[in-house]
Chain A
Amino acid sequence: MAAINRDDVAHLARLAHIEMSAEELDRMAGELAVIVDSVKSVSEAAGDDVPATSHPIPLSNVFREDVVGHTFTAEQALSGAPDSFEGRFKVPAILDED
Protein backbone atom coordinates (compact mmCIF):
# COMPACT_ATOMS: atom_id res chain seq x y z
CA MET A 1 0.00 0.00 0.00
CA ALA A 2 1.13 3.51 -0.80
CA ALA A 3 1.88 5.61 2.25
CA ILE A 4 -0.88 8.21 2.17
CA ASN A 5 -1.84 9.16 5.67
CA ARG A 6 -4.48 11.39 7.12
CA ASP A 7 -2.09 14.33 7.47
CA ASP A 8 -1.21 14.15 3.77
CA VAL A 9 -4.87 14.33 2.87
CA ALA A 10 -5.49 17.21 5.27
CA HIS A 11 -2.54 19.05 3.72
CA LEU A 12 -3.79 18.51 0.19
CA ALA A 13 -7.31 19.51 1.17
CA ARG A 14 -6.01 22.77 2.56
CA LEU A 15 -3.94 23.48 -0.57
CA ALA A 16 -6.97 22.76 -2.73
CA HIS A 17 -9.23 24.87 -0.50
CA ILE A 18 -11.50 21.90 0.18
CA GLU A 19 -13.15 21.63 3.58
CA MET A 20 -13.18 18.04 4.83
CA SER A 21 -14.62 16.44 7.96
CA ALA A 22 -12.66 14.04 10.15
CA GLU A 23 -14.49 11.06 8.68
CA GLU A 24 -13.87 12.24 5.15
CA LEU A 25 -10.16 12.61 5.85
CA ASP A 26 -9.99 9.04 7.18
CA ARG A 27 -11.94 7.60 4.28
CA MET A 28 -10.01 9.58 1.65
CA ALA A 29 -6.65 8.49 3.08
CA GLY A 30 -7.57 4.89 2.38
CA GLU A 31 -9.11 5.56 -1.03
CA LEU A 32 -6.21 7.72 -2.24
CA ALA A 33 -3.74 5.01 -1.25
CA VAL A 34 -5.60 2.56 -3.48
CA ILE A 35 -5.70 5.06 -6.34
CA VAL A 36 -1.98 5.76 -6.08
CA ASP A 37 -1.26 2.04 -6.10
CA SER A 38 -3.43 1.58 -9.18
CA VAL A 39 -1.69 4.37 -11.04
CA LYS A 40 1.67 2.93 -10.00
CA SER A 41 0.94 -0.24 -11.94
CA VAL A 42 1.32 1.83 -15.14
CA SER A 43 5.01 2.26 -14.41
CA GLU A 44 5.36 -1.52 -14.18
CA ALA A 45 3.98 -1.85 -17.70
CA ALA A 46 6.38 0.74 -19.16
CA GLY A 47 9.89 -0.58 -19.69
CA ASP A 48 13.11 1.46 -19.63
CA ASP A 49 12.75 2.04 -23.37
CA VAL A 50 9.52 4.04 -22.91
CA PRO A 51 10.24 7.70 -22.22
CA ALA A 52 8.13 9.66 -19.77
CA THR A 53 5.43 11.66 -21.51
CA SER A 54 2.98 14.36 -20.55
CA HIS A 55 0.76 14.00 -23.59
CA PRO A 56 -0.92 10.97 -25.15
CA ILE A 57 -0.10 11.97 -28.74
CA PRO A 58 3.53 12.43 -29.79
CA LEU A 59 3.19 16.02 -30.97
CA SER A 60 5.63 18.88 -30.56
CA ASN A 61 5.96 22.53 -31.55
CA VAL A 62 2.30 23.36 -31.93
CA PHE A 63 2.64 27.09 -32.39
CA ARG A 64 0.51 30.08 -33.23
CA GLU A 65 1.79 33.00 -35.32
CA ASP A 66 1.97 36.28 -33.41
CA VAL A 67 -1.18 37.77 -34.95
CA VAL A 68 -3.85 39.55 -32.94
CA GLY A 69 -7.16 37.72 -32.84
CA HIS A 70 -10.47 38.27 -31.08
CA THR A 71 -11.04 39.91 -27.72
CA PHE A 72 -13.96 40.43 -25.40
CA THR A 73 -15.41 43.78 -24.46
CA ALA A 74 -15.17 44.57 -20.76
CA GLU A 75 -18.92 43.93 -20.49
CA GLN A 76 -18.52 40.47 -22.01
CA ALA A 77 -15.50 39.71 -19.85
CA LEU A 78 -17.40 40.68 -16.71
CA SER A 79 -20.71 39.07 -17.68
CA GLY A 80 -20.09 36.02 -15.49
CA ALA A 81 -18.41 37.85 -12.63
CA PRO A 82 -20.09 37.61 -9.22
CA ASP A 83 -19.22 41.26 -8.65
CA SER A 84 -17.56 44.05 -10.60
CA PHE A 85 -16.74 47.73 -10.34
CA GLU A 86 -15.72 50.20 -13.05
CA GLY A 87 -14.87 47.57 -15.63
CA ARG A 88 -12.93 45.37 -13.25
CA PHE A 89 -13.61 42.19 -11.33
CA LYS A 90 -14.31 42.90 -7.67
CA VAL A 91 -12.90 40.31 -5.28
CA PRO A 92 -12.56 40.09 -1.50
CA ALA A 93 -9.23 41.34 -0.16
CA ILE A 94 -7.02 38.37 0.59
CA LEU A 95 -4.65 39.27 3.36
CA ASP A 96 -2.63 36.20 4.13
CA GLU A 97 -0.96 35.99 0.74
CA ASP A 98 0.77 38.48 -1.48
Chain B
Amino acid sequence: MSTDAILSFEEAMEKYDPVLGFEVHVELNTKTKMFSSAPNVFGDEPNTNVNEVDLGMPGVLPVVNKAAVESSIKIGLALNCKIAESCRFARKNYFYPDTPKNFQTSQYDEPIAYDGYLDIELEDGTVFRVEIERAHMEEDAGKLTHMGGATGRIQGADYSLVDYNRSGVPLVEIVTKPIEGAGSRAPELAKAYVAAVREIVKNLGVSDARMERGNVRCDANVSLRPHGRERFGIRSETKNVNSLRAVEHAVRYEIQRHAAVLESGEPVIQETRHWHEDTRTTTSGRAKSDADDYRYFPEPDLVPVLASREWVEELRATLPEPPAARRKRLQADWGYSDLEFRDVVNAGVMDSIEETIAAGASASVARKWWMGEIVGRAKTADVDPSDLGVTPQTIVELHKLVESGKINNKMASQVLDGVLAGEGAPAEIVEKRGLAVVSDDGPLLEAIDAALAAQPDVAEKIRGGKLQAIGAIVGGVMKATRGQADAGRVRELILEKLGVEG
Protein backbone atom coordinates (compact mmCIF):
# COMPACT_ATOMS: atom_id res chain seq x y z
CA MET B 1 0.00 0.00 0.00
CA SER B 2 1.55 3.30 -1.06
CA THR B 3 1.77 6.12 1.40
CA ASP B 4 0.40 9.48 0.35
CA ALA B 5 2.50 12.61 0.72
CA ILE B 6 1.19 15.08 3.26
CA LEU B 7 1.95 18.68 4.10
CA SER B 8 2.28 19.88 7.68
CA PHE B 9 -1.07 21.03 9.01
CA GLU B 10 0.30 24.53 9.61
CA GLU B 11 1.52 24.88 6.05
CA ALA B 12 -1.74 23.51 4.68
CA MET B 13 -3.62 26.13 6.69
CA GLU B 14 -1.34 28.90 5.49
CA LYS B 15 -2.13 28.12 1.87
CA TYR B 16 -5.64 26.70 1.87
CA ASP B 17 -9.09 27.13 3.33
CA PRO B 18 -10.88 23.87 4.25
CA VAL B 19 -14.55 23.21 3.56
CA LEU B 20 -16.19 20.34 5.43
CA GLY B 21 -19.37 18.34 5.13
CA PHE B 22 -20.69 15.45 7.20
CA GLU B 23 -23.09 12.61 6.79
CA VAL B 24 -23.85 11.12 10.16
CA HIS B 25 -25.85 7.91 10.34
CA VAL B 26 -27.76 7.33 13.56
CA GLU B 27 -29.17 3.89 14.34
CA LEU B 28 -32.47 4.20 16.18
CA ASN B 29 -33.10 2.06 19.25
CA THR B 30 -36.64 1.03 18.35
CA LYS B 31 -37.64 -2.48 19.41
CA THR B 32 -38.16 -3.56 15.82
CA LYS B 33 -36.77 -2.74 12.41
CA MET B 34 -37.73 0.03 10.03
CA PHE B 35 -39.94 -2.07 7.76
CA SER B 36 -40.23 -5.43 9.49
CA SER B 37 -41.26 -6.66 12.91
CA ALA B 38 -37.96 -8.51 13.48
CA PRO B 39 -36.14 -7.36 16.63
CA ASN B 40 -33.58 -4.57 16.47
CA VAL B 41 -30.96 -6.06 18.80
CA PHE B 42 -27.18 -5.80 18.64
CA GLY B 43 -24.86 -8.73 19.17
CA ASP B 44 -27.18 -11.71 18.76
CA GLU B 45 -26.37 -14.92 16.87
CA PRO B 46 -25.99 -14.13 13.15
CA ASN B 47 -29.12 -14.25 10.99
CA THR B 48 -31.52 -14.85 13.88
CA ASN B 49 -33.07 -11.35 14.02
CA VAL B 50 -34.41 -11.57 10.50
CA ASN B 51 -37.59 -12.47 8.72
CA GLU B 52 -38.67 -12.54 5.09
CA VAL B 53 -38.74 -8.75 4.77
CA ASP B 54 -35.14 -8.31 5.97
CA LEU B 55 -33.98 -11.04 3.61
CA GLY B 56 -35.68 -9.36 0.67
CA MET B 57 -37.69 -12.37 -0.33
CA PRO B 58 -40.04 -12.09 -3.30
CA GLY B 59 -43.56 -10.87 -2.68
CA VAL B 60 -43.03 -9.47 0.81
CA LEU B 61 -44.50 -6.18 1.89
CA PRO B 62 -42.60 -3.72 4.08
CA VAL B 63 -44.59 -1.76 6.69
CA VAL B 64 -43.23 1.43 8.26
CA ASN B 65 -42.45 1.40 11.98
CA LYS B 66 -44.40 4.29 13.51
CA ALA B 67 -41.99 4.67 16.43
CA ALA B 68 -39.09 5.06 13.99
CA VAL B 69 -40.94 7.85 12.19
CA GLU B 70 -41.58 9.59 15.51
CA SER B 71 -37.92 9.26 16.49
CA SER B 72 -36.92 10.71 13.12
CA ILE B 73 -39.22 13.69 13.60
CA LYS B 74 -37.78 14.24 17.08
CA ILE B 75 -34.26 14.25 15.66
CA GLY B 76 -35.36 16.72 13.00
CA LEU B 77 -36.88 19.01 15.61
CA ALA B 78 -33.80 18.78 17.84
CA LEU B 79 -31.69 19.83 14.84
CA ASN B 80 -33.95 22.88 14.34
CA CYS B 81 -35.22 21.43 11.07
CA LYS B 82 -38.51 21.92 9.28
CA ILE B 83 -40.57 18.73 9.20
CA ALA B 84 -42.02 17.83 5.81
CA GLU B 85 -45.82 17.78 5.72
CA SER B 86 -45.51 14.93 3.26
CA CYS B 87 -42.59 12.72 2.35
CA ARG B 88 -41.94 9.43 0.63
CA PHE B 89 -39.50 6.56 0.60
CA ALA B 90 -37.38 5.72 -2.42
CA ARG B 91 -35.34 2.79 -3.64
CA LYS B 92 -31.61 3.31 -3.92
CA ASN B 93 -30.50 0.63 -6.35
CA TYR B 94 -27.12 -1.06 -6.13
CA PHE B 95 -25.67 -4.55 -6.17
CA TYR B 96 -23.76 -5.52 -3.09
CA PRO B 97 -24.23 -8.44 -0.69
CA ASP B 98 -24.95 -6.16 2.27
CA THR B 99 -28.47 -5.77 0.95
CA PRO B 100 -30.26 -8.88 -0.23
CA LYS B 101 -32.90 -6.80 -2.03
CA ASN B 102 -30.38 -5.12 -4.35
CA PHE B 103 -31.72 -1.80 -3.17
CA GLN B 104 -31.76 0.14 0.07
CA THR B 105 -35.06 1.68 1.09
CA SER B 106 -34.21 5.30 1.79
CA GLN B 107 -35.53 8.77 1.11
CA TYR B 108 -34.35 10.77 -1.86
CA ASP B 109 -35.94 14.06 -2.89
CA GLU B 110 -38.38 14.19 0.02
CA PRO B 111 -36.54 13.86 3.35
CA ILE B 112 -38.67 13.98 6.48
CA ALA B 113 -36.62 16.87 7.93
CA TYR B 114 -34.72 19.69 6.23
CA ASP B 115 -33.20 23.15 6.66
CA GLY B 116 -31.94 23.02 10.22
CA TYR B 117 -28.88 24.08 12.14
CA LEU B 118 -26.85 23.18 15.17
CA ASP B 119 -24.79 25.58 17.24
CA ILE B 120 -21.57 23.83 18.15
CA GLU B 121 -19.59 25.00 21.14
CA LEU B 122 -15.85 24.40 20.83
CA GLU B 123 -13.68 23.67 23.84
CA ASP B 124 -12.75 27.30 24.39
CA GLY B 125 -16.38 28.39 24.28
CA THR B 126 -16.44 29.63 20.66
CA VAL B 127 -19.83 28.91 19.09
CA PHE B 128 -19.90 27.78 15.46
CA ARG B 129 -23.16 27.31 13.56
CA VAL B 130 -23.41 24.21 11.35
CA GLU B 131 -26.27 24.29 8.85
CA ILE B 132 -28.20 21.06 8.41
CA GLU B 133 -29.29 20.28 4.86
CA ARG B 134 -31.56 17.36 5.68
CA ALA B 135 -32.23 14.35 7.88
CA HIS B 136 -33.83 11.39 6.19
CA MET B 137 -35.09 7.94 7.13
CA GLU B 138 -33.60 4.76 5.76
CA GLU B 139 -32.60 1.25 6.73
CA ASP B 140 -29.22 -0.13 7.73
CA ALA B 141 -27.49 -2.82 5.67
CA GLY B 142 -26.22 -6.25 6.70
CA LYS B 143 -22.77 -6.76 8.14
CA LEU B 144 -20.01 -8.21 5.96
CA THR B 145 -16.95 -9.92 7.35
CA HIS B 146 -14.17 -10.32 4.83
CA MET B 147 -12.34 -13.62 5.19
CA GLY B 148 -8.93 -14.66 4.00
CA GLY B 149 -6.31 -12.16 2.94
CA ALA B 150 -3.93 -10.68 5.45
CA THR B 151 -5.77 -8.02 7.37
CA GLY B 152 -9.49 -8.68 7.32
CA ARG B 153 -9.82 -5.73 4.96
CA ILE B 154 -11.63 -6.24 1.71
CA GLN B 155 -8.43 -5.97 -0.30
CA GLY B 156 -7.15 -9.51 -0.77
CA ALA B 157 -10.15 -11.21 0.81
CA ASP B 158 -11.13 -14.64 -0.52
CA TYR B 159 -14.80 -14.46 0.37
CA SER B 160 -17.20 -12.60 2.65
CA LEU B 161 -19.66 -13.78 5.28
CA VAL B 162 -22.93 -11.92 5.70
CA ASP B 163 -25.06 -11.44 8.79
CA TYR B 164 -28.40 -9.74 8.08
CA ASN B 165 -29.31 -9.02 11.70
CA ARG B 166 -28.47 -5.35 11.10
CA SER B 167 -30.34 -5.35 7.81
CA GLY B 168 -33.40 -3.13 8.17
CA VAL B 169 -32.37 -1.45 11.44
CA PRO B 170 -33.87 2.07 11.33
CA LEU B 171 -31.37 4.76 10.41
CA VAL B 172 -31.56 8.51 10.25
CA GLU B 173 -28.93 10.08 8.02
CA ILE B 174 -28.10 13.66 8.92
CA VAL B 175 -26.45 15.69 6.16
CA THR B 176 -24.86 19.09 6.70
CA LYS B 177 -24.57 21.91 4.21
CA PRO B 178 -20.97 22.73 3.27
CA ILE B 179 -19.26 24.09 6.36
CA GLU B 180 -17.09 27.09 5.54
CA GLY B 181 -14.95 29.32 7.69
CA ALA B 182 -13.73 26.78 10.24
CA GLY B 183 -10.10 27.39 9.20
CA SER B 184 -7.53 25.68 11.37
CA ARG B 185 -10.25 24.64 13.79
CA ALA B 186 -11.79 22.32 11.19
CA PRO B 187 -10.59 19.08 12.85
CA GLU B 188 -11.79 20.27 16.25
CA LEU B 189 -15.12 21.37 14.81
CA ALA B 190 -15.54 18.00 13.09
CA LYS B 191 -15.15 16.19 16.38
CA ALA B 192 -17.37 18.64 18.25
CA TYR B 193 -20.11 18.38 15.62
CA VAL B 194 -20.27 14.59 15.73
CA ALA B 195 -20.12 14.73 19.53
CA ALA B 196 -23.04 17.17 19.55
CA VAL B 197 -25.16 14.97 17.26
CA ARG B 198 -24.38 11.95 19.40
CA GLU B 199 -25.28 13.87 22.55
CA ILE B 200 -28.56 15.04 21.04
CA VAL B 201 -29.77 11.62 19.91
CA LYS B 202 -28.74 10.12 23.22
CA ASN B 203 -30.51 12.87 25.12
CA LEU B 204 -33.64 12.32 23.01
CA GLY B 205 -33.51 8.64 23.94
CA VAL B 206 -33.93 7.65 20.28
CA SER B 207 -30.54 5.93 19.92
CA ASP B 208 -28.15 4.10 22.18
CA ALA B 209 -25.56 6.38 20.57
CA ARG B 210 -22.66 3.99 21.19
CA MET B 211 -20.10 4.72 18.53
CA GLU B 212 -18.11 1.57 19.26
CA ARG B 213 -21.20 -0.40 18.25
CA GLY B 214 -21.76 1.67 15.14
CA ASN B 215 -24.89 3.37 16.49
CA VAL B 216 -23.45 6.69 15.29
CA ARG B 217 -21.25 6.62 12.17
CA CYS B 218 -19.68 9.48 10.32
CA ASP B 219 -18.66 10.03 6.71
CA ALA B 220 -16.45 13.11 6.53
CA ASN B 221 -16.16 15.23 3.38
CA VAL B 222 -13.13 17.48 3.05
CA SER B 223 -12.06 19.86 0.30
CA LEU B 224 -9.56 22.69 0.12
CA ARG B 225 -9.54 25.92 -1.84
CA PRO B 226 -6.97 28.69 -1.94
CA HIS B 227 -7.72 31.51 0.49
CA GLY B 228 -10.07 34.04 -1.02
CA ARG B 229 -11.53 31.75 -3.66
CA GLU B 230 -15.26 31.14 -3.45
CA ARG B 231 -15.56 28.02 -5.56
CA PHE B 232 -15.12 24.78 -3.62
CA GLY B 233 -12.26 22.43 -4.34
CA ILE B 234 -12.77 18.77 -5.20
CA ARG B 235 -13.74 16.76 -2.15
CA SER B 236 -12.93 13.36 -0.78
CA GLU B 237 -15.34 11.40 1.37
CA THR B 238 -13.77 9.41 4.20
CA LYS B 239 -16.16 6.63 5.14
CA ASN B 240 -17.05 5.14 8.49
CA VAL B 241 -14.97 7.25 10.79
CA ASN B 242 -16.41 5.79 13.91
CA SER B 243 -14.96 7.44 16.96
CA LEU B 244 -14.81 11.08 17.94
CA ARG B 245 -11.04 11.01 18.03
CA ALA B 246 -10.93 9.40 14.58
CA VAL B 247 -13.20 12.11 13.13
CA GLU B 248 -10.76 14.77 14.28
CA HIS B 249 -7.73 12.85 13.03
CA ALA B 250 -9.30 11.93 9.68
CA VAL B 251 -10.25 15.52 8.86
CA ARG B 252 -6.81 16.72 9.83
CA TYR B 253 -5.13 14.03 7.75
CA GLU B 254 -7.27 14.68 4.68
CA ILE B 255 -6.53 18.42 4.88
CA GLN B 256 -2.81 17.62 4.96
CA ARG B 257 -3.11 15.12 2.10
CA HIS B 258 -5.21 17.40 -0.12
CA ALA B 259 -2.74 20.22 0.46
CA ALA B 260 0.15 18.04 -0.67
CA VAL B 261 -1.74 16.96 -3.80
CA LEU B 262 -2.59 20.56 -4.68
CA GLU B 263 0.97 21.73 -4.00
CA SER B 264 2.24 19.11 -6.43
CA GLY B 265 0.06 20.69 -9.10
CA GLU B 266 -2.15 17.63 -9.45
CA PRO B 267 -5.93 17.74 -9.14
CA VAL B 268 -7.54 16.10 -6.11
CA ILE B 269 -9.47 13.01 -7.16
CA GLN B 270 -13.09 12.88 -6.08
CA GLU B 271 -13.22 9.55 -4.33
CA THR B 272 -14.10 7.53 -1.30
CA ARG B 273 -11.32 7.14 1.26
CA HIS B 274 -11.01 4.46 3.93
CA TRP B 275 -9.87 5.46 7.40
CA HIS B 276 -7.28 3.30 9.14
CA GLU B 277 -7.16 3.78 12.86
CA ASP B 278 -3.86 1.91 13.24
CA THR B 279 -1.82 4.19 10.97
CA ARG B 280 -4.12 7.22 11.27
CA THR B 281 -4.17 7.57 7.51
CA THR B 282 -6.68 7.11 4.72
CA THR B 283 -6.33 5.04 1.60
CA SER B 284 -8.12 5.33 -1.69
CA GLY B 285 -11.40 3.46 -1.95
CA ARG B 286 -12.94 3.86 -5.35
CA ALA B 287 -13.37 6.89 -7.55
CA LYS B 288 -16.85 8.26 -8.02
CA SER B 289 -18.20 6.52 -11.08
CA ASP B 290 -21.21 4.92 -12.66
CA ALA B 291 -21.51 2.83 -9.54
CA ASP B 292 -22.97 5.94 -7.92
CA ASP B 293 -25.84 5.98 -10.40
CA TYR B 294 -28.38 4.65 -7.94
CA ARG B 295 -31.46 5.16 -10.14
CA TYR B 296 -33.61 6.29 -7.22
CA PHE B 297 -37.33 5.94 -7.73
CA PRO B 298 -40.32 6.17 -5.37
CA GLU B 299 -40.80 2.96 -3.37
CA PRO B 300 -44.04 1.50 -4.76
CA ASP B 301 -44.62 -0.75 -1.73
CA LEU B 302 -44.82 2.14 0.73
CA VAL B 303 -47.27 5.02 0.86
CA PRO B 304 -46.40 8.63 1.76
CA VAL B 305 -45.83 9.71 5.36
CA LEU B 306 -47.90 12.76 6.25
CA ALA B 307 -46.75 14.57 9.37
CA SER B 308 -49.69 16.68 10.49
CA ARG B 309 -48.76 19.85 12.39
CA GLU B 310 -50.66 18.49 15.42
CA TRP B 311 -48.54 15.34 15.42
CA VAL B 312 -45.32 17.35 15.06
CA GLU B 313 -46.31 19.67 17.92
CA GLU B 314 -47.22 16.69 20.10
CA LEU B 315 -43.76 15.29 19.51
CA ARG B 316 -42.11 18.67 20.06
CA ALA B 317 -43.79 18.85 23.46
CA THR B 318 -42.08 15.62 24.49
CA LEU B 319 -38.55 16.82 23.66
CA PRO B 320 -36.18 16.93 26.62
CA GLU B 321 -34.16 20.03 27.42
CA PRO B 322 -31.46 20.42 24.73
CA PRO B 323 -27.97 19.51 25.98
CA ALA B 324 -26.56 23.01 25.42
CA ALA B 325 -29.39 24.65 27.36
CA ARG B 326 -28.99 22.08 30.09
CA ARG B 327 -25.30 22.92 30.44
CA LYS B 328 -26.11 26.60 30.85
CA ARG B 329 -28.69 25.83 33.51
CA LEU B 330 -26.42 23.46 35.43
CA GLN B 331 -23.52 25.91 35.46
CA ALA B 332 -25.78 28.61 36.87
CA ASP B 333 -27.26 26.23 39.46
CA TRP B 334 -23.89 25.00 40.60
CA GLY B 335 -22.19 28.38 40.62
CA TYR B 336 -19.08 27.13 38.80
CA SER B 337 -16.89 29.61 36.94
CA ASP B 338 -16.71 29.29 33.13
CA LEU B 339 -13.31 27.66 33.44
CA GLU B 340 -14.38 25.25 36.18
CA PHE B 341 -17.46 24.26 34.25
CA ARG B 342 -15.59 23.79 30.96
CA ASP B 343 -13.08 21.56 32.74
CA VAL B 344 -15.94 19.52 34.15
CA VAL B 345 -17.56 19.15 30.70
CA ASN B 346 -14.29 18.34 28.97
CA ALA B 347 -13.45 15.76 31.62
CA GLY B 348 -16.81 14.13 30.90
CA VAL B 349 -18.09 14.24 34.47
CA MET B 350 -21.01 16.67 34.19
CA ASP B 351 -23.66 13.95 34.41
CA SER B 352 -21.83 12.27 37.26
CA ILE B 353 -21.66 15.53 39.19
CA GLU B 354 -25.35 16.13 38.59
CA GLU B 355 -26.16 12.67 39.95
CA THR B 356 -23.85 13.20 42.91
CA ILE B 357 -25.56 16.47 43.79
CA ALA B 358 -28.93 14.76 43.44
CA ALA B 359 -27.69 12.13 45.90
CA GLY B 360 -27.10 14.84 48.49
CA ALA B 361 -23.63 16.32 47.94
CA SER B 362 -23.04 20.06 47.53
CA ALA B 363 -21.89 21.32 44.13
CA SER B 364 -18.40 22.09 45.42
CA VAL B 365 -18.01 18.73 47.16
CA ALA B 366 -19.16 16.89 44.03
CA ARG B 367 -16.67 18.82 41.89
CA LYS B 368 -13.84 18.30 44.39
CA TRP B 369 -14.29 14.55 44.30
CA TRP B 370 -14.88 14.06 40.59
CA MET B 371 -12.24 16.49 39.37
CA GLY B 372 -9.73 16.03 42.20
CA GLU B 373 -9.85 12.31 42.82
CA ILE B 374 -11.75 10.40 40.18
CA VAL B 375 -10.73 11.93 36.83
CA GLY B 376 -7.04 11.23 37.48
CA ARG B 377 -7.69 7.64 38.49
CA ALA B 378 -9.86 7.13 35.40
CA LYS B 379 -7.08 8.47 33.22
CA THR B 380 -4.62 6.04 34.77
CA ALA B 381 -7.06 3.18 34.25
CA ASP B 382 -7.84 4.45 30.71
CA VAL B 383 -11.61 4.40 31.20
CA ASP B 384 -14.30 7.07 31.25
CA PRO B 385 -14.64 8.57 34.75
CA SER B 386 -18.27 7.43 34.91
CA ASP B 387 -17.16 3.87 34.20
CA LEU B 388 -14.58 3.73 36.96
CA GLY B 389 -17.05 2.31 39.46
CA VAL B 390 -17.62 5.27 41.76
CA THR B 391 -21.29 5.85 42.54
CA PRO B 392 -22.76 9.15 43.73
CA GLN B 393 -23.62 7.34 46.97
CA THR B 394 -19.95 6.50 47.53
CA ILE B 395 -19.04 10.16 47.34
CA VAL B 396 -21.82 11.24 49.66
CA GLU B 397 -20.70 8.63 52.21
CA LEU B 398 -17.05 9.57 51.89
CA HIS B 399 -17.87 13.21 52.41
CA LYS B 400 -19.96 12.43 55.49
CA LEU B 401 -17.05 10.51 56.98
CA VAL B 402 -14.74 13.48 56.42
CA GLU B 403 -17.25 16.03 57.62
CA SER B 404 -17.94 14.18 60.85
CA GLY B 405 -14.20 14.06 61.57
CA LYS B 406 -14.01 10.26 61.41
CA ILE B 407 -11.41 10.41 58.66
CA ASN B 408 -9.36 13.17 57.11
CA ASN B 409 -9.03 13.97 53.39
CA LYS B 410 -5.91 11.90 52.96
CA MET B 411 -7.60 8.85 54.44
CA ALA B 412 -10.70 9.49 52.35
CA SER B 413 -8.56 9.16 49.27
CA GLN B 414 -7.32 5.79 50.56
CA VAL B 415 -10.89 4.73 51.28
CA LEU B 416 -11.79 5.59 47.69
CA ASP B 417 -8.99 3.30 46.52
CA GLY B 418 -10.52 0.62 48.73
CA VAL B 419 -13.94 1.13 47.18
CA LEU B 420 -12.44 0.80 43.70
CA ALA B 421 -10.57 -2.33 44.79
CA GLY B 422 -13.92 -3.83 45.72
CA GLU B 423 -13.35 -3.86 49.46
CA GLY B 424 -16.87 -2.69 50.22
CA ALA B 425 -18.66 0.49 51.26
CA PRO B 426 -16.61 3.43 52.64
CA ALA B 427 -17.59 2.86 56.29
CA GLU B 428 -16.61 -0.80 56.05
CA ILE B 429 -13.25 0.08 54.56
CA VAL B 430 -12.53 2.61 57.29
CA GLU B 431 -13.18 -0.18 59.76
CA LYS B 432 -11.24 -2.88 57.93
CA ARG B 433 -8.22 -0.75 57.17
CA GLY B 434 -8.22 0.79 60.65
CA LEU B 435 -8.23 4.26 59.12
CA ALA B 436 -10.32 6.18 61.62
CA VAL B 437 -8.91 9.41 62.99
CA VAL B 438 -7.80 8.77 66.56
CA SER B 439 -10.16 10.80 68.72
CA ASP B 440 -9.84 8.86 71.93
CA ASP B 441 -7.66 11.15 74.04
CA GLY B 442 -5.90 8.26 75.84
CA PRO B 443 -3.56 7.18 73.06
CA LEU B 444 -3.13 10.84 72.06
CA LEU B 445 -2.03 11.89 75.55
CA GLU B 446 0.51 9.06 75.60
CA ALA B 447 1.87 10.18 72.26
CA ILE B 448 1.96 13.80 73.42
CA ASP B 449 3.87 12.88 76.57
CA ALA B 450 6.36 11.00 74.47
CA ALA B 451 6.73 13.86 72.01
CA LEU B 452 7.23 16.42 74.78
CA ALA B 453 9.79 14.19 76.49
CA ALA B 454 11.65 13.76 73.24
CA GLN B 455 11.87 17.51 72.61
CA PRO B 456 12.17 19.16 76.04
CA ASP B 457 13.62 22.38 74.59
CA VAL B 458 10.58 22.82 72.37
CA ALA B 459 8.28 22.13 75.31
CA GLU B 460 10.11 24.89 77.18
CA LYS B 461 9.65 27.38 74.35
CA ILE B 462 5.91 26.71 74.27
CA ARG B 463 5.67 27.18 78.02
CA GLY B 464 7.45 30.48 77.47
CA GLY B 465 4.69 31.56 75.10
CA LYS B 466 6.29 30.75 71.77
CA LEU B 467 3.19 29.09 70.39
CA GLN B 468 4.52 28.70 66.85
CA ALA B 469 6.92 26.06 68.17
CA ILE B 470 3.97 23.76 68.84
CA GLY B 471 4.11 22.47 65.26
CA ALA B 472 7.12 20.32 66.08
CA ILE B 473 5.25 18.54 68.88
CA VAL B 474 2.07 18.15 66.80
CA GLY B 475 4.25 16.72 64.05
CA GLY B 476 5.76 14.22 66.44
CA VAL B 477 2.33 13.10 67.58
CA MET B 478 1.05 12.77 64.01
CA LYS B 479 4.08 10.70 63.16
CA ALA B 480 3.58 8.45 66.16
CA THR B 481 -0.08 7.91 65.26
CA ARG B 482 0.70 7.40 61.55
CA GLY B 483 -1.35 10.41 60.59
CA GLN B 484 -4.53 9.15 62.21
CA ALA B 485 -4.79 11.84 64.87
CA ASP B 486 -6.98 14.91 64.56
CA ALA B 487 -4.31 17.62 64.46
CA GLY B 488 -6.64 20.24 65.94
CA ARG B 489 -7.42 18.11 68.92
CA VAL B 490 -3.72 17.29 69.40
CA ARG B 491 -2.92 21.00 69.58
CA GLU B 492 -5.60 21.59 72.20
CA LEU B 493 -4.33 18.73 74.34
CA ILE B 494 -0.71 19.93 74.15
CA LEU B 495 -1.69 23.41 75.29
CA GLU B 496 -3.81 21.96 78.08
CA LYS B 497 -0.97 19.73 79.20
CA LEU B 498 1.51 22.61 79.32
CA GLY B 499 -1.01 24.94 80.94
CA VAL B 500 -0.74 27.53 78.17
CA GLU B 501 -3.63 29.57 76.87
CA GLY B 502 -4.14 28.93 73.10
Contact = CB atoms under 8 A, between A and B. Distances in A.
A64 B162 contact: no
Interface string B158-172: 111111100000000
B306 A90 contact: no
A27 interface: no
Interface stretch (A32-40, A41-49, A65-73): A65-73
B51 A69 contact: yes
A68 B286 contact: no
A63 B305 CA distance: 9
Interface string A60-98: 111111111111111001100000011111111111111
Most chain B beta-carbon contacts within 10 A, residue among A54, A66, A78: A66
Interface stretch (B38-46, B220-228, B252-260, B448-456): B38-46
A95 B37 contact: no
A71 B162 contact: no
Contacts, number: 145
Contacts of B159: 90-93
Given A14-B290, A64-B37, A89-B161, A72 B50 contact: yes
B107 interface: no
B47 interface: yes
Contact of A60 (B50, B97, B295, B306): B306
Interface residues of B, number: 59
Interface residues of A, number: 39
A35 B38 CA distance: 40
Interface string B92-104: 0101110000000
A64 B65 contact: yes
Nearest to A65: B66
B92 to A, nearest CB: 12
A55 B304 CA distance: 9
Contact of B164 (A55, A61, A77, A86): A77
Nearest to A77: B47
Given A64-B63, A74-B45, A97 B291 contact: yes
B298 interface: yes
Interface in B63-91: 63-69, 86, 88
Contacts of B164: 77, 89
Contacts of A1: none
Interface of A: 11, 14-15, 17, 54-55, 57, 59-74, 77-78, 85-98
Interface of B: 30-32, 36-39, 45-52, 55, 63-69, 86, 88, 93, 95-97, 145-146, 148, 154-155, 157-164, 239, 272, 274, 285-286, 290-291, 293, 295, 298-300, 302-306
Given A66-B30, A72-B52, 4 more contacts: A63-B63, A64-B66, A87-B47, A92-B159
